Amino acid sequence: MAINPDWLVKAEGNRDYHQGGMRYYFLILCFISSFS
């Protein structure tokens, strides 16, 4: 599993607009990783 720095930057920026968004990104990432 590779983490894309670009994704981290975008997620960090989106946190300003979506306070709870980060947990959803994390859950989705974990979900995808478990099937990869």
Q: What is the percentage of the chain residues whose pLDDT exceeds 70?
A: 53
Euclidean distance between CA atoms 20 and 24, whole angstroms: 7
Question: Which pLDDT band, with edges at 50, 70 and 90, does 30 fall under?
Answer: confident
Residue spans per domain, the chain: 5-34
CB 24 within 8 A of CB 31: no
Torsion over CA: 31, 32, 33, 34 (sign): positive
The neighbour count for residue 15, using CB atoms within 10 Å, is 13
Residue with tokens 């980060």: 22
Residue with tokens 């995808």: 32
Q: How many CA atoms lie within 13 A of 11 on its CB side?
A: 16
Q: 9-21: per-residue pLDDT in tens?
A: 777 666 665 566 6
